Amino acid sequence: MIPESVNKVRIGVLASGSGSNFGVIAQQAQAPNYPGEIVVLVCNQAQAQARERARHWGIPEHLIANRDYAHREDHDRAVVAALQQQRVELVVMAGWMRVATPVLLAAYPERILNIHPSLLPSFRGMHAVQQALNYGVKISGCTVHIVRLEVDSGPILAQAAIPVYPADTVTSLQQRIQIEEHRIYPEAIAQYIQDGYRVESVGSPTNGAIPATLDQQ
């Protein structure tokens, strides 16, 4: 961990639902030696519980509803504006159920992290837990990765694996995966900041349009 005197990286969280990951990150970021602070929550669903969590932690929140924008790029422009207004340096997707467009990626290249409820590169996209159960895998888990244009494909920062039991349902497996998400996501974010936003792995060779190692600006 870095000393208290060093400025904390300004984090913007994007969430669409419950926001349990957002909540644990917000809680851990209270620690004086956590290297980032959450300065804004952007939510795209009016009813999302994440918004209540923002109020609980005293974090400013912006509702940017999907329905107010005809095109995904326009929605992302509004998201970028909200993030830039708070001088966000690192974007953390925590259950953000939108695919990032080039608008968002260009504003924060190699500066957007995501958590996904599978062991990537298996079961990308929507309904990952259902996909894993349908396939019959015996091990599943979660992955923290850098966001790039191809969905759920950027360099992997952290993973946790758990067994899949014969009696598992989507709900039971999701719940055990989330326990691991809450453990690894705050730590992976801190590590990424402390490493100066660098990763050793370059992830999928098919989406290498953006260099994997950018110097921290």
Q: Of the listed 62, 116, 145, 182, which one is catalytic?
A: 116
Binding residue (CB under 6 A) for ligand GAR from 62, 116, 145, 148: 116
- Tell whether residue 80 is a contact of ligand GAR (CB under 6 A): no
In a 10 Å sphere around its CB, with 0-12 CB exposed, 13-18 middle and 19+ buried, how is residue 192 labelled? Answer: buried
Spatial separation of the C-alpha atoms in residues 194 and 196, rounded to whole Å = 5
Binding residue (CB under 6 A) for ligand GAR from 29, 128, 133, 189: 128
Binding to ligand GAR (CB under 6 A): which residues in 9-48? 15, 17-21
Binding residue (CB under 6 A) for ligand GAR from 12, 35, 95, 203: 95
Nearer to ligand GAR, 43 or 82 (CB): 43
In a 10 Å sphere around its CB, with 0-12 CB exposed, 13-18 middle and 19+ buried, how is residue 68 labelled? Answer: exposed
CB-closest chain residue to ligand GAR: 95
Q: Quick one: the chain helix, strand, coil %, rounded to 5?
A: 35, 20, 45
Among 170, 100, 183, 110, which residue's Cα sits nearest to residue 140?
A: 170
At 212 the three-state DSSP class reads: coil
In a 10 Å sphere around its CB, with 0-12 CB exposed, 13-18 middle and 19+ buried, how is residue 19 labelled? Answer: buried
Spatial separation of the C-alpha atoms in residues 144 and 160, rounded to whole Å = 9
Binding to ligand GAR (CB under 6 A): which residues in 140-159? 142
**Shortest approach of ligand GAR to residue 21 CB, angstroms?**
3
**Shortest approach of ligand GAR to residue 177 CB, angstroms?**
6
116 assigned to active site: yes
Residues designated as active site: 116
- Binding residues for ligand GAR, rule: CB under 6 A, are 15, 17-21, 94-95, 115-117, 128, 142, 178, 181
